[in-house]
Structure 1
Amino acid sequence: MRMMNKHFLLPCALQRMMPGRFARASISVAVALLQASLASAQSADNSPLQLKPSSELEEQLSSEARSSVPTFVSGEHITGRPDLETTVEGSAALRKVDVVIKADRLDYYQPTDTAKATGHVRVNRAGNVYEGPLLELRVDAFEGFFNEPSYHFLRNDAHGQADRVDFLDEQRAVIHNATFTTCKRLPGPSWMPDWILKASTISLDNEEDVGTAEGAVLSFKGVPLLPVPYISFPLSDQRKSGVLPPTLGMDNINGTEVSVPYYWNIAPNRDATITPTLMSKRGLNLDTEFRYLEANYSGSLRADWMPSDQLRNINRWGLNLNHQARLQSEWTSSGAVLNMSLNRVSDDNYWRDFTRTNGSLTQRLLANDATLMWTNGAWASSVRTLKWQTLQDVTAPIIPPYDRLPQIATRYTRPNLWGLDVTLDADYTRFQSDSSLTLQPNAERTFSVLQASRTFQTSAGYVRPKIQLHATNYQFDTVLANGESSASRVVPTLSMDAGLVFERDTQLFGRKLLQTLEPRAFYVNTPYRDQSQLPNYDSGAYDFNFATIYQENAFVGNDRISDSNLLTLGVTSRFLDPDTGAEAARVGLAQRLRFRDQNVTLPGALPAQDRISDILLGGSVNWDARWRFDGTVQVNPTTEQSVRSTLGASYNPGSYRTINAAYRFQRDSSEQLDIGWQWPLNDLWGDRGKYLGPGQGQGEGRWYSVGRLNYSMNEGKLVDSVLGFEYDAGCWLGRIVLERLQTSSITATQRIMFQLEFVGFSRLGVNPLKSLKDNIPNYQNLREPGAAPSRFSNYD
């Protein structure tokens, strides 16, 4: 029989030919020194993958279901004999599920279920394309071979060639003399990619989601970088155990260091990373991180261990635990929440010597905190235990903060109770610390405050009167200077907050705006109660700014209630876009008028006697989306001098272009200038690049300058600095960054970070991305991980 340009059904089913995509890869033997991530590189902070709840499973079409799906063929000429053979010639095509085969000629022999495609064979499976001269396949069993194929993967735009692909069954295949790169192919027979991975064989097992490569070599610019005898990598987005890319580093504390992390995929919702690091000046450090994610709890545990640190001649260790859990209970409205944070280290110098090992352990005050919280109707309660580890420095000692063992707190909130908003807070805390250092007795403190307020609101403004009653009782472990072992205090507070809002249409620099004028008055009256004999466990003076100038109490915490008879006056004017409500500019000022001296002070402080406070001036300008200015100035009205000033500006005209500058001044204390930036250097010679989509850079062949400089004008030197360059070659990125971090008044840690990122494959070297993101506001990675493209974006 002969048919022209017809379609009919064949009793065959082409199963999976090749893996639909390659994804995050890792090396499975100790000698392997790179991550064969054939879909997406690691995240910027070297975290291998996000955990997924164990219930999330990838659905796949079973072999039985695929075999029942009809197969469609088409072509210019179709001939054959029923139940024997079928031949399609001229633009031959076979379609089934997500597989399309095209060729000059397609022969199918039904008794052996064998299909043979010759001449310009093209296979598109879920957007991944394979091309070659000859394909022979037992369709249902999916056994056969593909001669001299080239392939292109949709997910990461990677491609390569091979001598032959052998399909062992629908799940397994072996590729011989294979290559892999993400560099864009250019016309011409002499083209060579900037980087390429070559392997004698690549074996693919879709059932286990694992691929392996033997005899692999990674070459860059024609120079072999890493001969790797054996590589293992996953064939999907599922995580896989194995050795991650190494990191190499050099600084003045550790010397030369080499880290080779091992990633252990325990379960979809649990994993661990074990990172041995060899430091030439110090020895071997072992860092272990374990993460878990369950329906009702999650967290992470990280531990560092360095035996016989040559820097201090002692064993060093650090421990960090974060745990969050939701507990079910019948006596609460919606269960209870438990948050735990444990931070412990071996010695006082740990924060200085391990600046990069674990960010949460590089502080001198390490909190070990556990809090249980729950609600019950209008009541919200909590139980907390907090214990500090204080890392002391003989040149700059710290008075240790108080442990809270325990702290029990509750709050009752009742809005619109007889027209009043009523709140009751109660707190019991056991404060404990080293009395020889704090010079205060330990104590049990019970504190409560009852407050009631009512807001009278109109379209033109509001008035909010409020009354508060503070009650506190102390029970001391030892007697005070006056011979008492207990003390109590009851303090009432009356306040009145009132404000008006005026609006008008205006025009500024040719732009139509809505201008507001918002005067505000805040009065507070708290009688004096002698608190000079009371210890101070958690109180401190509020900073003087626009957020705190309208507070009833001058102190944060509950050990000091300031006596006050003062009036705060302020006014703010805003310029708003009348269509969107966006704020284009804002300016404001505020000042306190004191009617009597404030006699309640912190230990060692003098009473506040100035009848007129410093003047606060502040404002911000967002006139253009690219520019932002903000600043606050505190002026002494007597000396007419600035006491403290903070000025900031940022310019962000587009992707990968940002400059941020800040000036901070405090009289008789400090004066600093801070600037950070990311900017394409190609702009200097007129090459503005192009927009390639979010997280895709500005085009290949571009240089970027990145950095942050913090300069102390009083000392005349740089305090902290980060300075580097990035180069985007399209299929690979290069980064070199110099970092200097001040660890004390006379010492600093300096290091150099150099990294090569083979786009869609792996990174080699020291990763500077975390340092750049921490130091440069609005920094953008040149290759942000994106969602996998749809197979229909490359549909045949």
Structure 2
Amino acid sequence: MTRTPRHLPPRRLLAVAAALALIGAQADAGTGSHSHHPHPKASLDGSETVCPLGTFICPPRPDNFALCRPNAMLSFYDPFLPKDPALRDTSKTYVEAEHVDSSNKTVYHLSGRVKITRDDQQLRADRADYNDSTTDYDARGDVRYQDYSQLLSADHLWGNEDASRGIAKGHLRFQMLKSHGNGTAQQVHMLDAKHSRYREVTYSTCDVGHHLWEIRAQKLTVNKVSGRGVAQNATMRLDGVPFLYLPWLSFPVDNRRMTGFLYPTFAHTSRGGYMFSAPFYLNLAPNYDATLEPRLYSLRGPMLAGQARYLLPGTHGQLDFEYLSSDRFDDTTLSSTATPTLGHKRWLAKYTDSTALWPGWSFSTNINRASDRNYLRDFGNNLYTISTGTLASNAYIYGSGNWWSASFGADYYQNVDPSLPDSVVQYKRWPRATFNVDLPLNRWLETGLTSEAVAFRKYDVVEGDRLDLAPYIGADFQGPAWFVRPKLAWRYTGYQLNNGYQNYGYYSQLSTGQTSPFTDHTPSRSLPIVDLDSGLIFERNTSLFGNSYTQTLEPRLYYLYVPYRNQDNLPLFDTTLMSFDYWQLFTTNEYSGADRQMNANNLSAAVTTRLLDDGGVERLSLSFGQIRYFTPQRVQLPNSNTTTNLYTDYAGSDYVVQLDSQLSDNWRLSSSYQWNPNTRLTDTGMLELQRRVGLDGVLNFSYRFRRNLLEQYDASMVYPVSDRWRLLGHWTYSVKDRRTVEAMAGLQYENCCVKLSVLERHYVRGYDGLVTSTTTTNPGTDNAIMFEIEFKGMGAFNGQTETYLRRGILGYQ
């Protein structure tokens, strides 16, 4: 039985890389790192799992052979035969025939519907001779043979059953049961249970007798142990027309990883020129592998990229790299402010690792580094990559027990946005440690601690260390229809500023652009935090559109008290104002990070109603709430005022409404809305609508609005015109910028053994997703045509086209 190693995703061979280059396997607008992930094999009936609505990125669709003709498998296939030859040597042989003649009781002459069966082997013929002593056999006339891996029909087949040997000739057809591969041959020599040799052979995964593409070879050797077929003097034909000759060709006959060439890539961008790559996959061992990808850029020169993966006891990781020894292109020819690149080494490295150290402890790292700030813009392969402004790296040791958790490590950030100075990059947390305790005292009472110690480092600004401690005690009283959860905490935050802190300062809240120097080497803040969360849960039976549901009504009150402390003398290391949303109604701080703790004397009131179907699935959730302020919010970020802070000295916050609904398996609706009762303006709004069309079609529409920052429409679709044709589309429009941010239109065709995708893209370079580029009022645009062809069963993988579609179209599969 063939076996796919469970450790790493299977990598599939395409030894006809040059062939695909000739017909344009794919072209993309970008030229960054490529990941080649194969489709998992589908069952022979083409069944597959439908991606649930709302899934952010759906898994790739398996190879689907449902479009093949019903008689793709030879008509004599017996699905009840064993699928493993392990018991073949010890199994009995059963013989059936209409007529049996045996004069010496050793050699049997059989005729009329002859059937010889042993374990996974079955032989049928019009007539046959069988030697019960030696297990030699000789079958003639409409011979049909089946074992665990193949079907075979011929005029004549003879061999030895014990040795699993046989030779077949005459009108010979075969089909592989593991890969949907099939073809014809002049002769087949079954060397043993794991090896076969074919002469004057054709091979394809298309319909039997209807090969849109096929491999023709003088000799083909199939190794069922390695899952590899090796053809000699081979040509590959498309619709009967030969387009490639190879003296030696290796390809998979099942879905295991194999060493060899993957699909080549052809692309073009304005910053890299034309690019061609030919990845080569190295199946080094069941638990580690590598891919080397030579690339050639017409503007910038040759590059070597690659990937290595490993899975060892207690650890797994992956390394991706790209290296250009000497850039042939000078970016200053495109922009006078660009960093010179002519003759420079350019590189990108990404490394991830997760290792179990000992029980309860693990190590995790994620390193991302580029040679310069222009690298992703010059070599990025999609809008997401070229819009990345910061590369984050970290390494941490994690520990946990029944009532505690801890971590120790460091975070580093690199600026990769050429339009922004390094001063905008976050502080390095060098190092950072956390320790948290949550200890139950009895059934309803608990105590605990959250703590963090960080050393912040950054050039030409104030630096220092920060300790943040928050011990607490809380209770959880609850019943089937109510809960009350009081909590009392004390928060202490202390700093140890480095020498030279007097040269820096904080911005005054009242004087924009003016600073006051830090005068305290060890500033601190200490205050209590008191909150009380309570709610009720009511239920009733109801019906809607003829369906019965359980409806809940869940009112909730949350009170928060935090006294005011002046924090203007505290530096800002990693703290920002969080976006206001429904969950901000029930949090103790509107700021991320420990540098600011808001003051509060607030009461949040909210109500939620849900519809649960008979299976307990939540079909609808609708929430509404607001915060009422009994005292003004006085804690502000430097250089801010009450008009720029979502929490103000008004009596109440925004009204917040949140809706999630999936009343039908084919429709999904999500929406949120915030209205400011003081300015009588909408602060934020979001609407997302998704509809499934058939099994693999989807329609998406979304609208996003944030006052003074963002207003965008987004629509995408995968529309199945028929079983074979799908229309693809994606459009994003920015109302604020009055322009299309990205547009894509495409077409997909799929039949039994070929899948073809053609896409055209138009997108803005340097768009940050919120406002117009800081370097120009009209960021440049780029256009690309992507073309990808896939021969099913011949190393299918997700290329740039598949990766782009799965990221750009919600629900694409």
**TM-score, scaled relative to structure 2:** 0.82
Which aligned pairs between 1:563-602 and structure 2 lie closer than 5 A?
A: 563-577=599-613, 579-602=614-637
Match in the other structure for 1:349: 374
Alpha-carbon shift at residue 305 of structure 1 (Å): 0.7
Match in the other structure for 2:575: 539
Q: Note if 1:100 corresponds to 2:122.
A: yes
Q: Note if 1:242 corresponds to 2:272.
A: no
- Secondary structure at the aligned position of 2:523 is classed as strand
State the alpha-carbon separation in 2 of the partners of residues 210 and 402 from structure 1. 52
Picking from 349, 354, 357, the partner of 1:319 is 349
Is the 8 Å Cα contact of residues 32 and 231 (structure 1) preserved in structure 2? no
State the alpha-carbon separation in 2 of the partners of residues 447 and 367 from structure 1. 23
Is the 8 Å Cα contact of residues 35 and 799 (structure 2) preserved in structure 1? no
Match in the other structure for 1:11: none
State the alpha-carbon separation in 2 of the partners of residues 207 and 420 from structure 1. 61
Alpha-carbon shift at residue 676 of structure 1 (Å): 1.3
State the alpha-carbon separation in 2 of the partners of residues 519 and 260 from structure 1. 61
Task: Note closer, same or farther for the CA distance 1:741–1:286 as it changes in structure 2 (3 Å cut).
Answer: farther
Match in the other structure for 1:680: 720
Match in the other structure for 1:159: 182
Match in the other structure for 1:689: none
Which aligned pairs between 1:396-435 and structure 2 lie closer than 5 A?
A: 399-417=424-442, 419-434=444-459
CA-to-aligned-CA distance 1:700-754 (integer Å, 9 cap, x gap):
xx31111211111222221123321101223222110123343313134432211
Question: How many residues are treated as equivalent by the alignment?
Answer: 711
Alpha-carbon shift at residue 554 of structure 1 (Å): 1.6
Alpha-carbon shift at residue 81 of structure 1 (Å): 4.1
Task: Percent identity, please.
Answer: 28
State the alpha-carbon separation in 1 of the partners of residues 312 and 131 from structure 2. 52
Alpha-carbon shift at residue 583 of structure 1 (Å): 3.2
Task: Note closer, same or farther for the CA distance 1:25–1:621 as it changes in structure 2 (3 Å cut).
Answer: closer
Is the 8 Å Cα contact of residues 754 and 765 (structure 1) preserved in structure 2? no
Match in the other structure for 2:337: none
Q: Note if 1:733 corresponds to 2:733.
A: no
Q: After alignment, is 74-83 or 539-548 more displaced? A: 74-83
Picking from 34, 37, 42, the partner of 1:47 is 37
Alpha-carbon shift at residue 205 of structure 1 (Å): 3.4
State the alpha-carbon separation in 2 of the partners of residues 142 and 418 from structure 1. 68
Picking from 772, 781, 785, the partner of 1:752 is 785
Alpha-carbon shift at residue 632 of structure 1 (Å): 1.4
CA-to-aligned-CA distance 1:492-548 (integer Å, 9 cap, x gap):
111111222233344445544433332222111111111101001121112111111
- Secondary structure at the aligned position of 2:377 is classed as helix
Match in the other structure for 2:156: 134
Q: Note if 1:299 corresponds to 2:317.
A: yes
State the alpha-carbon separation in 2 of the partners of residues 730 and 60 from structure 1. 27
Q: Note if 1:86 corresponds to 2:108.
A: yes
Match in the other structure for 2:173: 150
CA-to-aligned-CA distance 1:279-327 (integer Å, 9 cap, x gap):
2232222111000011210011111111222343222111111000101
Match in the other structure for 1:442: 463
Q: Note if 1:463 corresponds to 2:484.
A: yes
State the alpha-carbon separation in 1 of the partners of residues 636 and 558 from structure 2. 22
Task: Name structure 2 gaps, 5 residues minimum.
Answer: 5-9, 23-33, 41-82, 330-340, 503-516, 643-647, 767-772, 774-778
- Secondary structure at the aligned position of 1:486 is classed as coil
Alpha-carbon shift at residue 475 of structure 1 (Å): 0.5
Match in the other structure for 1:647: 687
State the alpha-carbon separation in 1 of the partners of residues 762 and 421 from structure 2. 21
CA-to-aligned-CA distance 1:668-690 (integer Å, 9 cap, x gap):
222110011111124xxxxxxxx
- Secondary structure at the aligned position of 1:548 is classed as helix
Is the 8 Å Cα contact of residues 566 and 595 (structure 1) preserved in structure 2? yes
State the alpha-carbon separation in 2 of the partners of residues 510 and 165 from structure 1. 63
Is the 8 Å Cα contact of residues 272 and 379 (structure 2) preserved in structure 1? no
State the alpha-carbon separation in 1 of the partners of residues 363 and 735 from structure 2. 46
Task: Note closer, same or farther for the CA distance 1:136–1:663 as it changes in structure 2 (3 Å cut).
Answer: same
Is the 8 Å Cα contact of residues 493 and 526 (structure 1) preserved in structure 2? yes
State the alpha-carbon separation in 2 of the partners of residues 731 and 28 from structure 1. 17
Which aligned pairs between 1:110-509 and structure 2 lie closer than 5 A?
A: 114-126=136-148, 128-148=150-170, 149-185=172-208, 192-206=210-224, 209-311=227-329, 312-313=341-342, 314-328=344-358, 334-356=359-381, 363-394=388-419, 399-417=424-442, 419-434=444-459, 436=460, 439=461, 441-478=462-499, 479-480=501-502, 481-509=517-545
Picking from 724, 741, 749, the partner of 2:746 is 724
Is the 8 Å Cα contact of residues 407 and 429 (structure 1) preserved in structure 2? yes
Alpha-carbon shift at residue 95 of structure 1 (Å): 1.4
Task: Note closer, same or farther for the CA distance 1:472–1:762 as it changes in structure 2 (3 Å cut).
Answer: closer
State the alpha-carbon separation in 2 of the partners of residues 395 and 379 from structure 1. 41
Task: Note closer, same or farther for the CA distance 1:459–1:93 as it changes in structure 2 (3 Å cut).
Answer: closer
Q: After alignment, is 453-462 or 380-389 more displaced? A: 453-462
Q: After alignment, is 413-422 or 636-645 more displaced? A: 413-422
Match in the other structure for 1:558: 594
Is the 8 Å Cα contact of residues 729 and 744 (structure 2) preserved in structure 1? yes
Task: Note closer, same or farther for the CA distance 1:420–1:144 as it changes in structure 2 (3 Å cut).
Answer: closer
Q: Note if 1:72 corresponds to 2:94.
A: yes
RMSD: 2.9
Q: After alignment, is 76-85 or 556-565 more displaced? A: 76-85
State the alpha-carbon separation in 2 of the partners of residues 583 and 69 from structure 1. 54
Alpha-carbon shift at residue 112 of structure 1 (Å): 6.9
Is the 8 Å Cα contact of residues 29 and 230 (structure 1) preserved in structure 2? no
User: Which structure is higher in RCO with an 8 Å CA cutoff and minimum separation 6?
Assistant: 2
Is the 8 Å Cα contact of residues 17 and 262 (structure 2) preserved in structure 1? no
Alpha-carbon shift at residue 181 of structure 1 (Å): 2.1
Is the 8 Å Cα contact of residues 754 and 767 (structure 1) preserved in structure 2? no
Which aligned pairs between 1:695-706 and structure 2 lie closer than 5 A?
A: 699=723, 702-706=724-728
Task: Note closer, same or farther for the CA distance 1:268–1:358 as it changes in structure 2 (3 Å cut).
Answer: farther
Match in the other structure for 2:700: 660
Is the 8 Å Cα contact of residues 36 and 797 (structure 2) preserved in structure 1? no
Is the 8 Å Cα contact of residues 210 and 232 (structure 1) preserved in structure 2? yes
Q: After alignment, is 116-125 or 163-172 more displaced? A: 163-172
Is the 8 Å Cα contact of residues 27 and 34 (structure 1) preserved in structure 2? no
Q: After alignment, is 199-208 or 516-525 more displaced? A: 199-208
Is the 8 Å Cα contact of residues 753 and 765 (structure 1) preserved in structure 2? no
Is the 8 Å Cα contact of residues 755 and 763 (structure 1) preserved in structure 2? no
Task: Note closer, same or farther for the CA distance 1:660–1:765 as it changes in structure 2 (3 Å cut).
Answer: closer
Task: Note closer, same or farther for the CA distance 1:357–1:264 as it changes in structure 2 (3 Å cut).
Answer: farther
Picking from 702, 709, 715, the partner of 1:669 is 709
Is the 8 Å Cα contact of residues 252 and 794 (structure 2) preserved in structure 1? no
Task: Note closer, same or farther for the CA distance 1:736–1:449 as it changes in structure 2 (3 Å cut).
Answer: same
- Secondary structure at the aligned position of 1:771 is classed as helix
**TM-score, scaled relative to structure 1:** 0.83
Task: Note closer, same or farther for the CA distance 1:168–1:124 as it changes in structure 2 (3 Å cut).
Answer: closer
Task: Note closer, same or farther for the CA distance 1:208–1:709 as it changes in structure 2 (3 Å cut).
Answer: closer
CA-to-aligned-CA distance 1:194-234 (integer Å, 9 cap, x gap):
22221121122345554210222222223323333311134
Alpha-carbon shift at residue 664 of structure 1 (Å): 1.0
